[in-house]
Chain A
Amino acid sequence: MFIILKYIAKLLKALSSEASPNQLAGGFILGMIIGMTPVASIHNLIILMLVIILKVNIGMVILAFLVFSGIAYLADPLFHSFGIWILELERMQSTWTSMYDNELWAITKFYNTVVIGSFVSAVLLCIPMFPLTKIGVIQYRKNIHEKVMKTKFAKALKGTKLYSVYQTVVRVRG
């Protein structure tokens, strides 16, 4: 709970002015990929490592992960159908077969309809989502941030004991 609150607070702070829109958009698309695809996959381990190594906003990763996990839950049958279409593409058969025969590729479970369907969908979605998120962040800072900070949720968040503990920790750590 403390960690989630910490990252929500960080996210609100980052959205206001601290982080660059690229960091926020990067975090958003990485969280989106993790959320849309089955969590226990090798590619998500790699994305998680990227999240830790790259300077993307972790609060945004969590937010995108939570939002897109819910969407993916409903969209799994569509991913399955899309995955069947991809895996049955005639011209891709030799590629799939040679990838399947290579253990390093095979452990990604790309041969599963939901894994490949959701992953390709997520990657394709990254193309519009990255610039759109950036625009969104800029617009948020310009028009919405002030209003959000005045909302009951933001006030309540600021008023919680956990938030004050968090602020103290931040101050002490500098």
Chain B
Amino acid sequence: MRIKGIIFLTVITILGFLISWISIDPIIESEIEYQASVANGALVEIEGLDIDLIDLKIRWDKLQVANPENTMTNTFETGEMELDFLFWPTWWERVIIEDIIFKEFKMDTQRETDGYFEIPEEEKNAEPSFVAQLVGDVTSEISRNASMEFTNIKTNINVDSLMAKLDLQAPEKIDSLRNGLRQNYQKWDSTLSNTDINKEIAKVESTIKAIDIKNIKDPKKAIEAIKNVQRLAKQVDSLKTKATNLKKDFQDDFGDSKFSVGRIDNWIKGDFQRAMSMAKLPTIDPGNIAQSLFGENLLADYSGYLEYVAIARKYGSRLVGDDKEKIERYEGKDYNFTDKYDWPKLWIQNIDLSGETKTAIQLAGQVTNISSNQKKTKEPIKFNIGGKDNANRSMTLTGEFNYLGEEPKENVNFTYDGFGLKGSKISPSSLLPYPLKTGTGEVSASVSIVDKRFDSEIGYKAKGIAFDFGENPSKDRIQQLIRDAVSSTDQINVTALVDNLDGPLKVKVRSNIDDLFVNALKSTVSKEVDRARQKIESRVRNEIGDRKEQLLAFKQEKEAEIRKEYEKLESRVNEEIKKVEEKKKELEKKKKELEDSLKDKIKDRIGIDWK
């Protein structure tokens, strides 16, 4: 035994522990901060990370997650955190965390420094995910809603200025169609007058005339003439086919498939619709009312929730692919006798969370089974967080991100109830500019996404409300109408339904005051809208004038001419066929006569009856 060797080993072991203990923390801290910042799109900072390899614990003093939309605030921050991890999985480069306790969890806090993070190029170039595209669609729906304003309704629309801006397209398109038709008719005129069918008919005609039946005295000659006529019959048949083909081409050229009055109507309709959209005349129905009043707020919240789902799906699906087995040549093959070590790269089994919201709601809850590969843990991510404050406001957030099956599934439910509405405006729309004197609110949202199909509902309830209309009645006529309509109600329920279950994105916003609004608006505004619409429609039709009728008359006239020409040609061909047939019959009759006379002569001479 080497005593020096034993001492050397002991020293090396102690040194190894010391070095790893001192240097491991900053390395891991910076790696976690980098990866989390990439995932978040803004800075994620950990303060005072401490990794205890003997007790298998990790703790930190503070965690800040910057808000990518406003980098001077944090989406959330936590105070002290402690977690326990399992020892053996670390040998297989796996991190299994049994329990994490987050204390002092706070949302929407101010930062002392800017939380901007430069995202690496490869992350920037990543294709937008389905949920990210959905966020985009919903956002564009919000802007569409925001532009719809009933208060813009004008009683005296300046149609001249509108028409000047509009630049009608239908007249130009109709003129261009007329020119196209004219050229086509010219082509057909020339085709029909220059066709070789006429020349061939003339030739057949002269050949038939040249056959003089009276001068045929010999059956042989008669047979020869019949053969000649049969050839002519074939020729005439081929002329008939040519004529039929011409007719077919003509019908194809001018049939309904290439030209329909419907097309012209669509052009006119298109111009009219553009004029209407420039005039910003709204369609007054319950859906539009609720969308204008509450759509912007509700859908903005909705797209905010979806962004979190997008992040979860993006990283959930990316990490699933990380655990692929890699077998290099001559590195051998691992035999897995049981599934004991079939762990994901990261598995946080339980997070206990406690803290408060910006509005001082004391939150507590659990997030379970965050993992890099759910197929290995066989558990989806589940979360259930909620809390109340002294003023009876409550918040709950529950959900599940399930990537166990073939299709990723996300399900999120959120409610925020009991918040005061006193002094706040219920809608960003100028239709409802009045603050509330009293009332409490409740927001609830449920989003369910299965692969690329999603179904969601956002609800908003304002309970026990009373509007502060001020002293004087509103000067704006529409506002006054709405004011009269809502003054009788003490509750507003709004529901937004967003789904793509039948294909394209559908957004429906409904509320209990829709009918009140519609009734108030319909009695007056509807009439004005209809009048304005009629004005625009009649002006559009005037501008287009009788171009459509002229075009149709021109088409009818030219087509009748060409049809007449064709019919003339067709009748000549048919007449010629008839003549050829008659000539053939005559020749056959003559042939029979000649044959009979020959047989009679033979009978007279040798007494044999050939008949």
Interfacial residues, chain A to chain B (CB-CB below 8 A):
49, 52-55, 76-77, 79-80, 83-84, 87, 93, 96-97, 100-101, 103, 106-107, 109, 111-115, 117
Contact = CB atoms under 8 A, between A and B. Distances in A.
B334 interface: yes
B332 interface: yes
Contacts of A79: 332
A107 B9 CA distance: 21
Contact of A52 (B2, B336, B337): B2
A97 B6 contact: no
A112 B337 CA distance: 11
B332 A100 contact: no
A77 B330 contact: yes
A106 B341 contact: yes
A113 B335 contact: yes
Given A80-B333, A106-B341, A112-B331, 16 more contacts: A49-B9, A52-B8, A53-B5, A53-B9, A54-B5, A80-B330, A80-B332, A101-B337, A107-B88, A107-B91, A111-B334, A111-B336, A112-B333, A112-B334, A113-B332, A114-B330
25 contacts: A52-B6, A52-B8, A52-B9, A53-B2, A53-B5, A53-B9, A54-B5, A55-B1, A76-B330, A79-B332, A84-B333, A96-B335, A96-B337, A100-B337, A100-B338, A100-B340, A101-B338, A103-B88, A103-B91, A106-B340, A106-B341, A107-B88, A111-B337, A114-B331, A114-B332
Interface in B561-611: none
Question: Which of B6, B9, B334 gathers most chain A CB within 10 Å?
Answer: B334
Interface residues of B, number: 19
Contacts of B335: 87, 96, 111-113
A93 B337 CA distance: 8
Pick the 10 closest A-B CB pairs, nearest first.
A114-B332, A52-B5, A100-B337, A76-B330, A113-B332, A97-B337, A112-B332, A103-B88, A111-B335, A87-B335
Contacts of A87: 335
Nearest to B341: A106
A117 B338 CA distance: 20
A171 to B, nearest CB: 19
Interface in B308-341: 330-338, 340-341
A115 B6 contact: no
A83 B333 CA distance: 9
Contacts of A93: 337
Q: Is the interface of A mostly helix, strand, loop or mixed?
A: helix
Question: Which of B1, B8, B335 gathers most chain A CB within 10 Å?
Answer: B335
Nearest to B333: A113
Contacts of B340: 100-101, 106
Contacts of A112: 331-335
Question: Which of B1, B330, B331, B341 gathers most chain A CB within 10 Å?
Answer: B330
A54 B3 CA distance: 9
Contacts of B8: 52
Nearest to B330: A76
A113 B2 CA distance: 35
A101 B88 CA distance: 12
B4 to A, nearest CB: 9
A49 B6 CA distance: 8
B85 to A, nearest CB: 15
A55 B341 CA distance: 38
Contacts of A77: 330
Contacts of A54: 1-2, 5
B342 to A, nearest CB: 12
Contacts of B5: 52-54
Contacts of A114: 330-332
Interface in B333-360: 333-338, 340-341
Contacts of A111: 334-337
Nearest to A79: B332
Interface in B1-36: 1-2, 5-6, 8-9
Contact of B332 (A83, A103, A106): A83
Contacts of A83: 332-333
Contacts of B6: 52-53
B5 to A, nearest CB: 4
A82 to B, nearest CB: 11
Contacts of A100: 336-338, 340
A54 B2 CA distance: 6
Nearest to A51: B5
Nearest to A93: B337
Contacts of A113: 332-335
Contact of B2 (A55, A103, A107, A117): A55
A9 B151 CA distance: 100
Contacts of A107: 88, 91
Contacts of A53: 1-2, 5-6, 9
Nearest to A53: B5
A109 B1 CA distance: 29
A97 B334 CA distance: 13
Contacts of B2: 52-55
B333 to A, nearest CB: 5
Question: Which of B8, B332, B333 gathers most chain A CB within 10 Å?
Answer: B332
Nearest to A49: B9
B89 to A, nearest CB: 9
B505 to A, nearest CB: 51
A54 B9 CA distance: 12
A35 to B, nearest CB: 15
A105 to B, nearest CB: 11
A115 B330 CA distance: 10
A140 to B, nearest CB: 24
A111 B88 CA distance: 16
Contacts of A101: 337-338, 340
A54 B337 CA distance: 36
Contacts of B337: 93, 96-97, 100-101, 111
A111 B337 CA distance: 8
Nearest to B87: A103
A77 B91 CA distance: 26
A10 to B, nearest CB: 14
Contacts of A117: 332
A79 B66 CA distance: 53
Given A52-B5, A107-B91, A97 B338 contact: yes
Contacts of A103: 88, 91
A53 B6 CA distance: 6
Contacts of B91: 103, 106-107
